[in-house]
Structure 1
Amino acid sequence: MSYDFPLRKIIHVDMDAFYASVEQLDNPELKGKPVAVGGGETRGVVAAASYEARKYGVRSAMSGYLAKKQCPELIFVKPRFARYKEISQKIRNIFMDYTDLVEPLSLDEAYLDVTVNKKGNPSATLIAQEIRHRIYDELKLSASAGISINKFIAKIASDINKPNGQKTVNPEEVISFLEGLEIRKFYGVGKVTADKMYSLGIFTGLDLKTKSLEFLEAHFGKGGAFYYNVVRGIHLSPVKPNRIPKSVGAERTFDENLSSEVFMLERLDNIAKELEKRLKKSNIAGKTVTLKIKFSDFSLQTRSKTLPFFVADHSLILETTKELLYQEKLENSVRLLGISLSNLNTEKKVKLQDEVISVQLQFDF
C-alpha cells in the first residue's frame, strides 16, 4: 500500500510495571511477590502493581482496600518518586544515545523518532531491541516496545507483547493490523467511548472504517475526525522533544474524611504552597485554577475559574481556590483535595519543532 503522507520510524518504549519493578529491584525480598506501590489498604490508592499482583486483578487507580481484598497476600510499599525520577533519567540518557527526538510521556514511557538516528541504523526494530537490552543490562529492569510509522500505532503495539517484548507493525501491515484490532484497544478509546461504539455496532477497527466522517463527527464531535483518520493509519503528530505540560497540579488524600471547610482550607493552603514550588521550579504560571474534590463515596467533582492574568503565587491561587470551594455547598465529607493550574504561559512561549522527514515506503523496519 502507498501512503500520500511522509512516514516515520517511531518507537514507543514502555517500562514494565515500573514503580513496582524498581521496588523489587531495590528490595530483593519483594522479588516474585505481589507488590502494590501506594498509600496502603485503608485509605490509599494503588499507583502501580507488580505483574504478580496483576494476576489477581490488582490495577493502578484501584483503592487499597479493594486491592487487598482481591489479593490478600498483597504487599504495600510507599512510593519513592525521587528514586523513580533518578532511574527514569538514566533510561532517558540511553534514549538520547540514539536520537534527540525523544518525547517523554511520563517517568516510564516515551516516544522516539529514529527515522534518522545517531547510530545510522536503518532498522527501528533492531534499535528498539538494542535499547531494551541496554536498559536491562545497565539497570536490571525490563521494557516493552512498539515500532511503527506513527506514534498512535507504536503506542498500541508496545502493549501487544508485554511484558519484556516488542511488536513491529510494518508499513504494509498497518491497515490489516488496525482493521483486526478490538476497538477498546485503540489508544484514546476509554470504557465510556468503547460502550458508545458498541451501541453503534463498532467492535473492531474494520467496523470503525466502514463509518463515514460525517457519521463519526455526528456521534463523537471533534473526536470523529481523529477516529476516521487513525483507523486509516493517518496520525501526523511528530515526536516533540520539548513537550510542554498542559497543567501543573498537587493533591492530597487524607487519613480521615474532612467535613469542616475550615480544615479543608488548612489543607488547601498547604497544597497551594506545594503547587507554587512546582510552578516556580519550572518558571511556569497559568490563568485557570481548578479545584478537585473527591468525596467519601469516591464521586469526583472539579470546579474551575479562569483569571484575566497569569498567576503562580500561592496566595493568589489559594484566594481563587477559596472562591471555588464556597461556590457550592458540599453535600458529603471529603477524602481528597487537589489544585491544578492550566492555560499556562508555556503554550505561547515555546514553539515546538514540527519537521516531517520524507522517506521512501521501502522501510527496513
Structure 2
Amino acid sequence: MVAGRTVLHADLDAFFASVEQLDRPELRGRPVLVGGRSRRSVVAAASYEARAFGCRSAMPMARALALCPAAEVVSARFARYAELSGRFMGILGRFSPLVEALSIDEAFVDCTGSRRLLGTGPEIGESIRAATRAELGLTVSVGIGPNKFVAKLATDMRKPNDMTVAPGVEGGPDEPGGLAAWLASVAIERMWGVGPKSIGRFHEAGIRTFGDLQRLDEAEVARRLGAHAVDMRARALGLDDRAVETDHERKGVGHETTFGDDLEDPEAVLEALHGLVESACLRLRASGGMTRRLAVKIRFGDFETITRSTTLDAPTDSTRAILVAAKATFSRWARAGFVPVRLVGIRLERLDAREAGTPGLFEDPQDARDRALDRVADAVSRKFGSGAIGRGHGGIARGGS
C-alpha cells in the first residue's frame, strides 16, 4: 500500500477541434483548424489529423493552411466549449472534491482521499476516461503520479486517448530505482520552465536528460545554472509538494497560450487574448467569483516576461467589461513599443461574493446588463450546448452558427 499522494492530471484531447468533430460528423477523420481565416488569425486548436501535417495550436492560421491546404477552418464557439468543460469538471468532481482546473480542458485531481472508496489511482483514471467517453463523446488523456509535476509529465508521455501511471502511487508500476530512475531518461526539454534560451545553457553544461540533472548536487546546479535550476533538479527527482487547489481556494483564475512562432502583429495577439479572457470569465462565474484586478502576461522570444495590471472601478464578472480592460491594458503596452510576442496570458484576481459585496445603486448600468447577458448565455449553453450565444472579437454579442 502506497501511503503517499495520488494526483491525477486529465487533459481533453485536441479539445476545441474534437468538439467540432463531435457536433459535425462530416468533420470526423478530417483535418480541422479552429480559429479565424484572416491573415491575423492564429490557430486556437488543431485536430490530430491536422497535426499530422505539422499544424498546431497558437500557429498563425496562414502558416497552418500552407501546411495543410485541405484543412477545414471553423470558428471557435466558446459557449459550447464552456458547456462541455463544465460537464467534464463535473465528472472529475465525482471522484474527488479536490479538482484544480488548469484551463478550460485540463485539470488536476487529488485522489488520495478517494482510494478507499473508489479504487486505486489507475482504476479511478480508467473510470474518468470511460465516463468522459460515454457522457461527452470525447477522449481524455490521463497521467497519474505522486504529485502534480509527475502527473502532468505522465499525461504528455502517451497522447491522445491513453493513460500513463508513474511509479510511487498505489497500483503503479514497480520500477527498480523508484521514481527518479523512471524519470532519468526524460529529455530536459520536457521540464516546466525550460525554454529555448535555457536549453542551450543546459546542453552547454552537459545536461540533456533529467538523469543528468539528478546527478549534480544542489550547490553545483546553482553555481552552473543559477538558483532557479535548484527547483528544476528537485522536479527531475520527482519532488513537488504543491497542493491541488480548487478555484474556490485559489485567489486567481488565469489562462495563457504559447505561440508556435513569435507573433509580429498586435491584432493577432489581441485575438488570442480575446479567447483567453472568454475562458477565464466563464471559469470565474462558474466558481461564484468576481474580479476587480486583472493582469496581462506577455512573454517574448528570449523568454523575458512582463505583466501589465489594471484595477477596475468596481468588482465584476462581466465578460465585456473584463475584455475591454484587458485589451486596453495590452494596447497601452503595444503603443509604447510593441515587440513580437511568444506568449500571452490573462489572470483575474478572484474575489468571492462576500469580498466583492452586492452591486449597489452606483453600478454601471451597462455592466449590469452585460452581467445579465453573460448569465443567460451560460444558462443557454448549459441547457442546450449549442453555442447559440457568443461574443465577437470586438466584444459585441452576436448569434452563433
TM-score above 0.5, yes or no = yes
Match of 2:211 among 206, 214, 220: 206
CA distance in 1, matches of 2:282, 2:17: 25
Aligned counterparts, 1:146-157, within 5 A: 146-157=143-154
Question: Any residues of structure 2 matched to 1:78-227 within 5 Å, and which?
Answer: 78-117=75-114, 120-171=117-168, 172=175, 173-218=178-223, 220-227=225-232
The separation in 1 between residues aligned to 2:4 and 2:84, in whole angstroms, is 32
Instruction: Give matches, 1:208-247, under 5 Å.
Output: 208-218=213-223, 220-242=225-247, 244=250, 246=252
Matches of 1:50 and 1:324 in 2, distance apart?
Answer: 30
Q: Distance in 2 between matches of 1:99 and 1:141?
A: 21
Q: Contact 1:13 / 1:144 at 8 angstroms: preserved in 2?
A: yes
Note the residue ranges of structure 2 that are not aligned, 5 or more in a row: 169-174, 257-264, 356-401
**Contact 2:32/2:74, CA 8 A, preserved across alignment:** yes
Measure, in 1, the Cα distance between the counterparts of 2:49 and 2:333.
45
Q: TM-score, normalising length from structure 2? A: 0.66
In structure 2, how many angstroms separate the alpha carbons of the residues matched to 1:110 and 1:22? 18
Distance 1:339 1:317, change over 3 A: farther
Superposition TM-score, scaled by structure 1 size: 0.72
What is residue 54 of structure 1 aligned with on the other side? 51
Cα deviation for residue 248 of structure 1 reads 5.9
CA-CA distance at 1:331 after TM superposition:
6.0
| CA root-mean-square deviation | 4.3
Change (3 A) 1:288 1:33: closer
How far apart, CA to CA, are the structure 2 residues paired with 1:78 and 1:324?
A: 24
Deviation of the 1:224 alpha carbon: 1.9
Correspondence 1:45 to 2:42 = yes
Amino acid at match of 2:132: I
- Greater share of helix residues, 1 or 2? 2
Contact kept in structure 2, 1:249 and 1:339, CA below 8 Å: yes
Secondary structure of 1:100 counterpart: coil
SS at match of 2:100: strand
Shift of 1:339: 9.7
The answer on whether the counterparts of 1:49 and 1:58 sit within 8 Å (CA) in structure 2 is yes
Q: Which runs of 5+ in 1 are unaligned?
A: 251-256, 295-299, 350-365
What SS does the aligned partner of 2:194 have? coil
**Total equivalences in the alignment:** 322
Going from structure 1 to structure 2, the CA distance change for 1:341 and 1:142 (only over 3 Å counts) comes to closer
Verify the 8 A CA contact 1:249 1:340 in the aligned structure 2: yes
Q: 1:7 aligns with which of 4, 9, 22?
A: 4
1:329 CA displacement: 6.3
User: 1:192, CA displacement in angstroms?
Assistant: 3.0
Q: Distance in 1 between matches of 2:72 and 2:63?
A: 13
Percentage of pairs with the same residue: 30
2: CA distance, partners of 1:163 / 1:286: 38
Q: Give 3-state SS (helix, strand or coil) of 2:113's partner.
A: coil
CA distance in structure 2 between the partners assigned to 1:84 and 1:317 by the alignment? 18
CA distance in structure 2 between the aligned counterparts of 1:23 and 1:327, rounded to whole angstroms: 35
- CA distance in 2 between counterparts of 1:39 and 1:11 reads 34
1:196-233 deviation line (CA, Å, top 9, x unaligned): 21122110011111222123334554522311211222
What's the offset of the Cα at 1:105? Answer: 0.7
| Secondary structure of the corresponding residue to residue 164 of structure 1 | coil
1:316-349 Cα shifts (integer Å, max 9, x gaps): 99899989967896567999xx995667667xx7
User: Given the superposition, is the C-alpha separation of residues 23 and 199 from structure 1 closer, same or farther in structure 2, using an over 3 Å criterion?
Assistant: same
